Chains A and B, each alone.
Chain A
């Protein structure tokens, strides 16, 4: 999601390029970038729709987050923000509650396995303070009531090209390759106030794993492993070679094989039913409790009220 066309803006002295430092070593825009949401399409609504997957049927695949419960998602956000909000397009903002609820919805819809949430804005750590869904690791650039600062200016372009925190993380990531065994803890250990000029925060209480075990490559450019699985179906070779000579030979029809349903990962209809039943039981108990509480409350109020009038 890119709200501004920085690369091809006519005020950019280097067309089609976005550089993260004044030395212009790395071109972030490159030769074959693809942008899925740009310009006015970058809105809070679209962002939440991408996360939660609530889309119109005609929205193309490239504009969807096609993840499931085995996907690790990295969410990086940057921009102008403040205490529990981040601005989108200068006229609307997303709050920490919005993101937390969207992540919870994703969890309930089994849209992620783990989320690594990184945010670089002023008072960034407030943005992840409202998360309540499991398996989320969050890090931000600055504490509440603290600013995040930019790293350096490019005098040819005339603007600050990168933020201090992002620059620092990028420096660390440049040393990581696909087979790296570096863990998240190592990344967080490199945070240094003297370099970043703000206090980056980490929230790992929702994250189920030890940070020393969580590899950076679990979220960034991991190697896709080729895993050979046993074949799904066995193709029987024909019992007898086809006999083309006898047109009158009656051959019993080969039974149509239904799709193999004994794979371990598939829930059988019974299991599905049980899990749904448990779910509905739990829901029923919950609503019963809620009604009970409301009843007690009404009773108490009535009691107090009647005492008063007497």
Chain B
């Protein structure tokens, strides 16, 4: 290639390397000299969203007395980076004195050291990856499957927001998703849960889900440390987190703005532990029920997995089958576990209908029939890789192949031990055709069941009605959360409770209520309900539907607005409490709430029909008023400018002729 065709190096430099970071990991002093272990992290463009390269470097060096330390690192061939980057075999990196704060005691001692580098990838010694698939036949013939991919970064702690103004530690991950890790560090997020679901989870037919976040649409909640720095305050970071996740997961979470953000701390208590920092933690929660979930959300999800969808259990995640499911949802859960580290759990949950796929109407299923794929390879970096199949007790069921271990409830397959390709199948041998259960109200699978409806046909007011049934023979309590955009405003004084027909206003205690501010803030209503044994509670409340500004309507305004689900947490006495770590910074008054089992029940979403204007009205008004103005102006102008004169007409000529 002629020399003139070459791109100038500076262009390449800016084109390809998005970010580079050098950090000093540690150093070994030898008298007055030292060997430093540096890490160089480069992000390259053109290798997907999370392409990065981490190189280890040993550097023998001297330190000048100034605050800025500068050194040159030489890259031999970077493994994994193709020839495109071959030009970048030499580069210059600058580390400021901030990353050298541990070395200050050696300042002034001259080191004259020698440079040696190797471009080997950092091998994770303290990261664990576990994958699990749970398959559960449901009593209506469907199959619930739950994928769970857990990555634990041992020894890691979330970033304290007080340190946001300082330079962050370098991030070197092997299995932990870097793209997500960068977001968590950038916005100092301690705990985060994002779920993107499509469809309505039917608690009555399917029971409690394995992953509790099953609200329709997108839901994001995060616990973040508060701080007083205005440029990094919690609302700024919450906004940044929303936007970053929207970009990462191709979702429209950017529209989860302040009009949908609340802090319902009773219902969404942290699932992990919160580190004890100088400032307290705060919750931010938002839902977007109209969000779609499709292949574009699954693609970045799979990219966060160490084996992508190439091998292991994740190979079963076939978008064409998953998005054909009766219910599907994906979730990203990040939490901090004290003394263990930061855990990222990626989950995918689907309810598929084998009867629909079957030609003979049987509910037999296999991995091939449900996902159209089998497991051909194990994911080599997975510490454990298990498939658990729930065995319903009542029928004669055959499961092939033989499981690695069998308990009364579950057949467990360890993917690394089984023969490949692995295609688990379950057959109901005696069943010629699946009979849907005739019992309209079968025995309940959950403690309570919830119905929520919006009544009234008017576009200005209506009535919210919630029906809660207690299926247990004991009195239980349940928390009740309404986090409602200002599109629906409650008349709290009209709240009435009827228990089996009798008015019982003593059964509710309102814990907190934040009224809405039109065009800016949502309502937050948290209450505690007491449910007498085997009773049905009717809760009604009048609501008004406000007028929206002309520009606030969505493009399909006549469709109506989706409202977020209400969330209930039944508190069952004697139920196994949630394990609670003492090393949290939660106030003591909230500790008892942590004992709640995190079994959330999401009600279905509502669709509210708000008054919509005639969108062609402005044009009609313009046309109408222009016509009127033209008419009025024309006549007035005429009257004012036209001169009215008496015209003398020649009498002789015009005089009527005498009739003959």
Q: Which residues of A contact B (CB under 8 A)?
A: 5, 7-8, 14-17, 29-36, 38-41, 56, 58-63, 70, 89-92, 224, 226-233, 235, 238, 241-244, 247, 249-251, 253-254, 256-257, 259, 263-266
A59's nearest neighbour on chain B, judged by CB, is: B243
Contact of A233 among B66, B72, B83, B323 (CB under 8 A): B72
Assess whether B110 is in contact with A5, with CB atoms less than 8 Å apart: no
Chain B: minimal CB distance from A292 (Å): 37
| New contact pairs (4) apart from A90-B555, A232-B9, CB-CB < 8 Å | A41-B252, A233-B91, A265-B11, A266-B10
Q: Are B247 and A264 in contact (CB under 8 A)?
A: no
Contacts of A70 in B (CB 8 A): 11
Q: CB within 8 Å of A: which of B1-58? A: 1, 5-13, 30-33, 46, 49
Q: Would A40 and B554 be within 8 Å (CB), given that A33-B295, A233-B90 are in contact?
A: yes
Assess the B6–A227 pair: CB atoms within 8 A: yes
Across the interface, name the chain B residue whose C-beta is closest to A2.
Answer: B296
B122 an interface residue at 8 Å Cβ cutoff?
A: no
> Is residue B292 within 8 Å, beta carbon to beta carbon, of the partner chain?
yes
The yes or no answer to B402 lying at the interface (CB within 8 A) is: no
B576 on the A face (CB < 8 A) = no
**CB < 8 Å: which of B32, B64, B90, B555 contacts A91?**
B555
Contacts of A89 in B (CB 8 A): 555
Comparing B111-119, B531-539, B582-590, B651-659, the segment that makes contact with chain A is: B111-119
Q: For residue A56, give the distance in angstroms from its CB to the closest CB of chain B.
A: 8
Contact A254 B114 (CB under 8 A): no
Interface flag for B395 (CB, 8 Å) = no
Known contacts A90-B555, A242-B114, A251-B112; A17/B12 CB under 8 A: no
- Asked if B556 is an interface residue, CB under 8 A from chain A, the answer is yes
* Cα–Cα, bound, A87→B72 (Å): 54
Provide the residues of chain B in CB contact with A263, threshold 8 Å: 8-10
Cβ–Cβ < 8 Å partners of B637 in chain A: none
A40 adjacent to B299 (CB under 8 Å):
no
B248 within 8 A of A: yes
Would you give 15 A-B contacts (Cβ < 8 Å), ordered by A? A5-B294, A8-B294, A39-B252, A39-B292, A41-B252, A70-B11, A226-B82, A229-B12, A233-B90, A238-B114, A242-B33, A242-B112, A247-B33, A263-B8, A264-B8
Q: Contacts of A16 on B, CB cut-off 8 Å?
A: 294-295, 319-320, 322-324
Asked if A232 meets B91 with Cβ closer than 8 Å, knowing A40-B555, A242-B112, A250-B110, the reply is yes
The 0/1 profile, CB within 8 Å of A marked 1, for residues 51-81 of chain B is 0000000001010111010101010000000
Cβ contact within 8 Å between B114 and A58: no
Give bound CA distance, A265 to B13, whole Å. Answer: 12
Q: Are B299 and A62 in contact (CB under 8 A)?
A: no
Question: B644 an interface residue at 8 Å Cβ cutoff?
Answer: no
Please give, as numbers and ranges, the residues of chain A lying within 8 Å of B302 by CB-CB distance.
32
Is B87 located at the chain interface by the 8 A CB criterion? yes
CA–CA, A61 and B182, complex, Å? 13
Nearest-neighbor residue (CB-CB) of A30 within chain B: B295
Q: Is B642 an interface residue (CB 8 A)?
A: no
Residue B254 is within 8 A (CB to CB) of chain A in the complex: yes
What is the CA–CA distance of A41 and B254 in the complex, to the nearest angstrom? 9
Tell me if A8 and B292 are in contact (CB < 8 A): yes
Are B246 and A60 closer than 8 Å at their CB atoms?
yes
Instruction: List, in ascending order, chain B residues with CB within 8 A of A229's CB.
Output: 6-9, 12, 87
Minimum distance in angstroms from B319 CB to a CB of chain A = 5
Q: Give the residue among B8, B291, B302, B320 with the most A Cβ atoms within 10 A.
A: B320
Tell me the bound Cα distance from A1 to B247 in angstroms: 13
User: Which residues of B sit under 8 angstroms from A60, Cβ to Cβ?
Assistant: 243-244, 246-248
CB distance from B2 to the nearest CB of A (A): 11
Q: Mark B228-251, 1 if CB is under 8 A from A, else 0.
A: 000000000001100110111010
Q: How far is the CB of A16 from chain B (nearest CB, A)?
A: 4
Which of A5, A58, A228 neighbours the largest number of chain B CB atoms within 10 Å of its CB? A58
Closest partner residue, chain B, to A41 (CB atom): B252
- For B87, give the chain A residue with the smallest CB separation: A229
Chain B 449-470 interface mask (CB, 8 Å, partner A; 1/0): 0000000000000000000000
Best-buried of B5, B198, B252, B290 by chain A (most CB within 10 Å): B252
Partner of B243, one of A29, A58, A238: A58
**Bound Cα distance from A60 to B638, whole angstroms:** 61
